[in-house]
Amino acid sequence: MSGEPAAAVGPDGAPRCPWALSTADYVTYHDEEWGRPVHGDDALFERLSLEAFQSGLSWITILRRRPGFRAAFADFKISTVAEFTGTDRERLLADTGIIRNRAKIDATLANARVLAGWEPGDLDTLIWSHAPDPATRPAPKTLAEVPAVTPESTGLSKALKKQGLRFVGPTTAYALMQACGLVNDHLETCVARRGPAGGG
């Protein structure tokens, strides 16, 4: 991977992270969402849950089913999901609009029940407390320079697990950090790096 270009040029002539150009869905997600700061407990619960569902799968699979996930999980409102019953669980296991993985569904429901007992803003504060200093993270020039796990994501994983959350390993935690703007892993010459995703 060390010989790959810093960024790939899309049909519009703008350089982007190479992964973003594989599908139109990825272009939109890359340009408008990935790496932009996300705050709010429910919003972060959604991202955390979707990253857990992504484990072992491609992100495009999750991205294309996100409307189905949102419908199935009440827009990931923590207080609502925490009250889901056994009947809701069976509904989820039969829902073809999501990934019908029993362990991941159970983890999402269990995580909501844990988080429902937290004070408002606690999840946001915990997650963002693990954001590294941007000054310590030079812009990656190629995908080979983008890590899958970092000391910060390992620390975030441990903190979440300590609170009783499931499916929050270091790799999942780092994917969350990338998606929610705790780190800016857009490549150095990527057009999105110079935009709202983190600028510089």
* Catalytic residue positions, numbered: 29, 51, 59
**The two structure tokens encoding residue 59:** 């992100």
Burial class (CB in 10 A: 0-12, 13-18, 19+), 31: buried
Burial of 199 (0-12, 13-18, 19+ CB in 10 A): exposed
| 190 carries a ligand binding annotation | yes
CA distances in angstroms from 120 to 71, 99, 115, 185, listed in the order given: 23, 29, 9, 29
The residues with which 15 forms a beta bridge, in sequence order, are 9
Q: Do the annotations mark residue 180 as ligand-binding?
A: no
Question: How many Å apart are CA 84 and CA 149, to the nearest integer?
Answer: 33
> Do residues 79 and 92 touch, judged by C-beta distance below 8 A?
no
Annotated binding-site residues read 17, 30, 186, 190
Annotated binding-site residues for Zn(2+) read 17, 30, 186, 190
